[in-house]
């Protein structure tokens, strides 16, 4: 009898636990799972913004986005632009933030380290459009960047066409993104570095290991899980980039070199009203991100279990 009562209280409690998760479950069902299924369904239709009627057209949208020109902005170009941007941003970002974080850890006083962290993080606080607006002026033909570049390259009066030349334009978007997020990734690495017990370093110092040697033989291997996690995050974030490219395009730069997938989805779906085609593109983006995540997870699985 008594045992029965205890059981029912626990059951009652468990029901409360489930109830607490219901609002979120409903939210994710409506705003995550349903839309991705809806996107899948729409990608097989010729649905457009202005008309409520549509027909199922089979794989026509997929054939279209992979083989047709899409008014001068084919998906293949978008995939190329996105991959160049992603690889061009995330590799330097990971390497540089790791170096900066390691150097910051060398500082003897926490006060200095805190100051640098704060200052490195500042750009991440600004909106992406603000970041792009600032750099658009710095990249102006008469702007600061040409002056600095000419000073470094010891040339005079050369215009590097930061916002016009297709290659330089891609470099520019990479610089803007790098600038905005470097501090953020430095902090992620610092968290990882701080988790390595100082006793290991003390032991290494006692054994006469040089700083250089310690970095390659101790820090880097122990930091592998952090590096894996940070690079997945950086990569997924780069694949989703939109605001920087959109702002530069609105500012008068050519669209094709920086026509990343999200921008193409926006223009195809909203500006041109081709919801079916845009949905097909969305699913391509979704699959690309899934594949990248999977590859990263597989590549890092062996290194996941690091114990200090």
Q: Which of residues 207-226 bind another protein (CB under 8 A)?
A: 211, 225-226
| Three-class DSSP labels, 243-283 | HHHHHHHHCCCCCHHHCCHHHHHHHHHHHCCEHHHHHHHHH
**Selected binder of another protein within 80, 164, 240, 272 (CB under 8 A):** 240
Number of residues that bind another protein (CB under 8 A): 99
Answer for which of 75, 79, 169, 182 binds another protein (CB under 8 A) is: 182
The 183-212 site mask, x for binding another protein (CB under 8 A), equals: xx--xx-xxx--x---------------x-
Q: Which member of 4, 51, 106, 199 binds another protein (CB under 8 A)?
A: 106
Q: Which of 185, 180, 139, 177 is nearest to 160 (CA)?
A: 139
Q: Smallest distance, Å, CB 63 to another protein?
A: 19
24 binds another protein (CB under 8 A): yes
CB of 69 to another protein, least distance (A): 21
Helices (H), 75-127: 75-106, 110-125
Structure tokens of 233? 């995050």
Q: Is 95 in the site for another protein (CB under 8 A)?
A: no
Site for another protein in 252-291 (CB under 8 A): 252, 261-262, 265-266, 269-270, 275, 278-279, 282-283, 285-286, 289-290
Residue among 133, 164, 196, 204 that touches another protein (CB under 8 A): 133
Q: How far is CA 200 from the centre of its chain?
A: 33
Residue 229 engages another protein in binding (rule: CB under 8 A): yes
Report the b/e string of 227-261 with b at 16+ CB within 10 A.
bbebbbebbebbbebebbbbbbbeeebebebbbbb
d(CA 46, CA 290): 26
Q: Which residues contact 251 (CB under 8 A, 6 or more apart)?
A: 132, 136, 163
According to CB under 8 A, which one of 2, 4, 5, 20 is a site residue for another protein?
20
Residue 119 binds another protein (CB under 8 A): yes
């Amino acid at each position: 009898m008594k045992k029965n009562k205890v059981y029912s209280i626990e059951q009652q409690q468990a029901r409360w636990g489930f109830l607490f998760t219901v609002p979120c479950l409903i939210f994710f069902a409506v705003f995550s799972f349903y839309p991705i299924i809806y996107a899948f369904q729409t990608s097989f239709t010729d649905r457009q913004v202005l008309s409520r009627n549509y027909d199922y057209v089979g794989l026509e949208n997929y054939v279209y986005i992979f083989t047709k020109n899409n008014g001068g902005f084919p998906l293949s170009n978008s995939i190329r632009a996105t991959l160049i941007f992603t690889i061009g941003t995330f590799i330097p970002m990971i390497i540089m933030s790791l170096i900066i974080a390691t150097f910051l850890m060398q500082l003897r006083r926490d006060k200095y380290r805190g100051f640098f962290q704060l200052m490195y993080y500042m750009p991440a606080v600004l909106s992406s459009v603000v970041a792009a607006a600032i750099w658009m002026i710095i990249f102006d033909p008469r702007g600061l960047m040409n002056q600095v570049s000419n000073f470094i390259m010891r040339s005079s009066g050369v215009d590097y066409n930061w916002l016009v030349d297709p290659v330089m334009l891609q470099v520019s978007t990479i610089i803007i993104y790098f600038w905005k997020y470097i501090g953020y990734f430095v902090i992620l690495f610092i968290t990882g570095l701080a988790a390595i017990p100082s006793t290991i370093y003390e032991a290494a110092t006692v054994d006469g290991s040089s700083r250089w040697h310690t970095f390659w033989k101790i820090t880097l291997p122990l930091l592998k899980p952090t590096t894996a996690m940070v690079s997945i995050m950086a990569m997924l974030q780069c694949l989703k980039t939109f605001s920087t490219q959109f702002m530069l395009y609105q500012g008068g730069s050519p669209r094709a070199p920086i026509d990343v997938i999200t921008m193409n989805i926006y223009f195809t779906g909203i500006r041109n009203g081709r919801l079916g085609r845009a949905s097909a593109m969305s699913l391509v983006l979704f699959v690309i991100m899934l594949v990248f995540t999977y590859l990263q997870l597989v590549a890092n699985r062996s290194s996941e279990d690091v114990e200090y």
